[in-house]
């Protein structure tokens, strides 16, 4: 009994979902990939600088 009510509720909620358009999806994906690459490069540079700094004093 509860399972049927749950499935009906899920079905109702899925009808209320507003899915992103293809354009919005591409935009968001581009932002995520760009930020990921930026932070990879940022932390790689930061790590390299720390290594160079440590080699000077060790």
- Residue 5 is encoded by which pair of tokens? 């009510």
pLDDT of residue 50: 96
User: What pLDDT score was predicted for residue 57?
Assistant: 87
Entry pTM: 0.67
Q: How far apart are CA 35 and CA 29, in angstroms?
A: 10
Residue 21 φ then ψ, to 5°: -75, 170
pLDDT of residue 31: 98
**Chain Cα centroid distance, residue 51:** 29
- Regions of the chain short of the pLDDT cut 50: none
Q: What pLDDT sits at residue 58? A: 82
Cα separations in angstroms, 23 against 1, 31, 34, 45, 58: 41, 12, 16, 33, 52
């Amino acid at each position: 009994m509860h399972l049927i009510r749950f499935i009906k509720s899920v079905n109702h909620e899925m009808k209320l979902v507003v899915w992103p358009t293809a354009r919005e999806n591409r935009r968001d994906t581009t932002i995520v990939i760009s930020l990921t690459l930026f932070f990879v490069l940022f932390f790689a540079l930061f790590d390299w600088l720390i290594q160079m700094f440590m080699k000077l004093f060790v």
